[in-house]
Amino acid sequence: MSYTIETAPHGALISLSATSREEVVRDLVASLLEATYGTGASTAAATGQMVPIQAAGGDDGALLSNLAAGTLRAIGETDGKLLPPRWLAFDEKRVTAHLPVVLPKGETRPLSLRQPLTVEQAAPGFVARFSLENSQAH
């Protein structure tokens, strides 16, 4: 795990450090799921349903910001609990992630992206830090 989550009453601050594009995408989604649902992996079996999330952007910051917004939207709209992606696909300036669904959904902390992500390419990979704020429940 290459991310940390600092929680506060108003939201959360997430820091990512990844060595590859795949790792930064997986850790971005995993950190958003953990910040929303809390810690601990689900012991329930997946329903077989998958929620696809697709994002595009002209640069890494825009791409990951759009992916974060799509993930947070899917968390709010899905009847079950989402798990980290089992499958990722990359294209030029585009990524698709498929997140398995388990039941029940349980408690969630409604969060939204405070501002677009800033991503820096640093040897040997990527570094990002972003803020989430509490939003109204859906």
Per-residue pLDDT of 1-45, as tens digits, reads: 689 999 988 999 999 999 998 999 999 999 999 999 987 656 677
Q: Percent of the chain, pLDDT > 70? A: 93
61-78 pLDDT, tens digit per residue, is 899 999 999 999 999 999
Higher-confidence position of 126 and 94: 94
Q: How far is it between the farthest Cα atoms of the chain?
A: 41
Predicted pLDDT of residue 42: 63
Note whether 27 and 71 are within 8 A (CB).
no
Residue 137 pLDDT class (50, 70, 90 cuts): very low
Burial 71-89, CB ≥16 within 10 A → b, else e: bbebbeeeebbbbbbeeee
Which residues, at least 6 apart from 49, have a Cβ–Cβ distance to it below 8 Å? Answer: 80, 100, 101
Q: Percent of the chain, pLDDT > 90? A: 62
Q: Evaluate if residue 85 carries a pLDDT over 50.
A: yes
| CA distances for 120 relative to 11, 21, 24, 33, 64, angstroms | 23, 12, 11, 22, 12
